Chains A and B, each alone.
Chain A
């Protein structure tokens, strides 16, 4: 098994304590950064590493940092996006609970790079344990002088504030998050202006995913060349966490270099299918286009998945076997998006629920021949026409399910009932983490 950087301490109950972290070389990267590098140099290093955002969009982290106006007299903020709520995704939760100091060190380095003196960790409300662990980690780091005033004698100050969300998927969208952080309704903002120019409290703000930030100390310690040597090519680099759920023998959290082969991951590392044969895989969290069983011999990286019309997203891999009814599965997803739509933009607010109603009808056996085209058309009319990507996230699964599993949808209509023998008795017998 390849070298691991996140999961190697998963069996150690002390992995989230600062003493353990320090014994294993923790906070060396921060020390190097504040003592030896200028903020600009840190940004250059991260750019060179090729680190791309792990939250879903895959935007190069260093480039994003570079968007912060250098000569603005406004305060700058760093926000760690720990509102992990994409169905099928549970990697940030692991970092928060087991490796909070990796995250904190990453937050500190990123804050130094953009010269922020306040950083927020916006953590999903349901992550009660994670919030507690993180807060303790902040306290430990402050006591040891890795956070707070004049960090390691460098003159750099950083206050890290843990902010718990109140339970909305939309607050994981960076501008919805910022609104919520400011105490308002989590309604995503119109862009431009982008947060790097006008973010939290109208000041330049960088919002990064937890896993993205946790990679930063590794880049500093081992160098950008080391980081970019991991992965299939210079645009898809670094170690990567993969969350596998569904009908496999060993679901759970896995770490491999960027570009792990999906088929290999399912059939070798996860022990293959639980019972039946493979029907479909959602490779990057519930929002991304679904893959059929024939499409899974693919490298799990941003560009390879994009090339076959899907996305790496959050690398939340949902494996579905033949006992899954694709209409029912899509209904489940769309019900989620309809429930989580903020209601601001028309297509998402109205379209998601419309799709749910159609899918419910098809699943009940009252579908019409024209419903498949209608679903596809509604998805098309939502896609790219909303303020934030939640609309796209609801549209992409719908379009891909209908396109790739149209026969199954049609079978529902023809038979006047659901033709799939469902097995809803999955038990996670071998949870990997």
Chain B
């Protein structure tokens, strides 16, 4: 492997690594715009120029691979001066509108200018002023802020595999442009806002909504399909402002699709259940958690006493976390002796969508089908089981905010003696329940999902659920307590540790070991 000197420090890098990447990997910053590790190298921004002992000219470190014995200087006077002048070129026509720019605070033009640039401009001429363009979809092009790095153009060419953007005109008049009649409608479009190093590409969804430094970031996993993309939830005042992709080479590279990016809006519109409910004749009445849980545990205790556990069935969910499904199994199998476990999942929508880079949007829109099956088994057809009259008591853990219950299925549910449901929002299941428990959705709870490839990832709660709504694992841990003499799990990590001991697929896994990127199920 080539060993070379970077600012006097010996560095070894894989052959074929660029000087820039090797520097970044070893913690030395070389400012750059056009270079992006996932995209083709064009070497056009000229910001990453460095001094090389065997070259009379400064070289773009993104386009020069490491060679044995070379000496690279990234902070010599010549390099510093080149950088400063390059930043001056970037800024001469920039409107300096940071106070009203959504990128401010995470803008590489701001950061680099602050670190490497000059505090004043020598340009006294009139600036180039161009109106903002709407590129279709959620994308606005603030042309005055563009640095012509062409990352967005290359994103479509290299990652998506279909061109949506191009550079129009040339020289000083160069302009990012869509093709006639073809707006930015592709599902992967939101990513260009993330890779834009400056405030040129702006997402209408976030436009003027918040200053980024006021947002808190929580690592999470997208529940939008069984790809399980790593995401960051960015929130303040108990409200999500945007979702951004989080790099995870084993799952989503560094991209997310727009279905996932804007998914949080769907939860904002839900009619939440609010309080635990119990049935009183035709009506559902609010009740306390203590009462709701005691109704359930009393009914289950009766089943246990009368040895009628075969009349009890449990439906876990591909939309619930492993911890919820596991606790459900623990209560009903270990405590009640029930052995009818099913997994609820919605029907797949269309085909898997695969783009050039291999990134896939799955047709299975549940986040945890794989995990639910590992814990609860492969059975899914609980409807015919109810139809056959084999079930009297049903505990239905759902979590799917799009569940649709047909009239026929409603009739079947009415045949049950007791229906306990655990749901995120009001739906037909809740309306037919004897007891309904309001549970949190993914952003409000912690837990883990297993994606379609068998990769387990954890996520942490970002928002506080509404006052009488609880995290799913917490509800089930409380229910478990009623059977176990008041001893139960105090954290979601506890549940994972217990699951690791009892479910072979999760052997050796702990909440801590899952880290940020998760682990592959063995």
Residues of A within 8 A of B (CB): 168, 170, 185, 190, 338-354, 357-358, 361, 368, 374, 381, 384-387
Contact with A along B139-181 (1 / 0, CB 8 A): 0000000011000000000000000000101111110000000
Identify B173's interface contact among A343, A354, A357, A384, CB under 8 A.
Answer: A343
In the complex the two chains form, is A353's CB within 8 Å of B171's CB?
yes
Name the residue of chain B whose CB is nearest to the CB of A386: B46
In the complex the two chains form, is B44's CB within 8 Å of A344's CB?
yes
| B269 to A: closest C-beta gap in Å | 44
In the complex the two chains form, is B172's CB within 8 Å of A338's CB?
yes
Classify chain B: how many residues form its interface, as a range: 35 or more
Residues of A within 8 A of B123 (CB): 354
Contact with A along B7-48 (1 / 0, CB 8 A): 000000000000000000000000000000000011111110
Residues of B within 8 A of A350 (CB): 89-90, 92-93, 172
User: Please, how many angstroms separate the alpha-carbon atoms of A347 and B49 in the complex?
Assistant: 12
Residues of A within 8 A of B42 (CB): 190, 344
In the complex the two chains form, is B85's CB within 8 Å of A354's CB?
no
User: Please, how many angstroms separate the alpha-carbon atoms of A87 and B147 in the complex?
Assistant: 30
Is B60 positioned at the interface, with any CB of A under 8 Å from its CB?
yes
Knowing A343-B174, A349-B172, A385-B58, the reply to whether A354 touches B125 (Cβ < 8 A) is yes
User: Please, how many angstroms separate the alpha-carbon atoms of A41 and B85 in the complex?
Assistant: 49
Identify B170's interface contact among A341, A384, A387, CB under 8 A.
Answer: A341
Residues of A within 8 A of B148 (CB): 343-344, 346, 349
Residues of B within 8 A of A168 (CB): 170
Name the residue of chain B whose CB is nearest to the CB of A188: B44
Residues of A within 8 A of B46 (CB): 345-347, 385-386
Identify B41's interface contact among A190, A338, A351, A385, CB under 8 A.
Answer: A190
| B130 to A: closest C-beta gap in Å | 14
Is B412 positioned at the interface, with any CB of A under 8 Å from its CB?
no
In the complex the two chains form, is B43's CB within 8 Å of A347's CB?
no
Q: List 6 additional contacts besides A346-B45, A347-B89, A354-B125; criterion CB under 8 Å.
A: A190-B63, A338-B171, A343-B173, A350-B90, A381-B88, A385-B46
User: Majority SS of interface residues in chain B?
Assistant: loop
| A369 to B: closest C-beta gap in Å | 13
User: Please, how many angstroms separate the alpha-carbon atoms of A354 and B171 in the complex?
Assistant: 12
| B100 to A: closest C-beta gap in Å | 23
Residues of B within 8 A of A340 (CB): 170-171
Residues of B within 8 A of A (CB): 41-47, 49, 57-58, 60, 63, 82, 85-86, 88-90, 92-93, 122-126, 128, 147-148, 167, 169-174
User: Please, how many angstroms separate the alpha-carbon atoms of A357 and B172 in the complex?
Assistant: 12
Name the residue of chain A whose CB is nearest to the CB of B91: A350
Name the residue of chain A whose CB is nearest to the CB of B85: A381
Residues of A within 8 A of B44 (CB): 344-346, 387
| B214 to A: closest C-beta gap in Å | 32
Name the residue of chain A whose CB is nearest to the CB of B81: A381
In the complex the two chains form, is A185's CB within 8 Å of B90's CB?
no
User: Please, how many angstroms separate the alpha-carbon atoms of A342 and B148 in the complex?
Assistant: 12
Knowing A346-B90, A385-B58, the reply to whether A352 touches B82 (Cβ < 8 A) is no
In the complex the two chains form, is B170's CB within 8 Å of A353's CB?
no
Residues of B within 8 A of A338 (CB): 171-172
| B156 to A: closest C-beta gap in Å | 15
User: Please, how many angstroms separate the alpha-carbon atoms of A350 and B124 in the complex?
Assistant: 14
Knowing A341-B170, A343-B167, A358-B125, the reply to whether A190 touches B43 (Cβ < 8 A) is yes
Name the residue of chain B whose CB is nearest to the CB of A370: B122
Residues of B within 8 A of A343 (CB): 148, 167, 169-174
The 12 sampled A-B contact pairs (Cβ below 8 Å) are A170-B170, A185-B167, A190-B42, A190-B43, A190-B60, A338-B171, A345-B44, A346-B147, A347-B86, A349-B148, A352-B172, A368-B124
Name the residue of chain B whose CB is nearest to the CB of A385: B46
| B317 to A: closest C-beta gap in Å | 51
Identify A346's interface contact among B41, B47, B167, B173, CB under 8 A.
Answer: B47
| B182 to A: closest C-beta gap in Å | 18
User: Please, how many angstroms separate the alpha-carbon atoms of A81 and B385 in the complex?
Assistant: 79
Knowing A190-B60, A350-B93, the reply to whether A341 touches B43 (Cβ < 8 A) is no
User: Please, how many angstroms separate the alpha-carbon atoms of A351 and B43 in the complex?
Assistant: 17
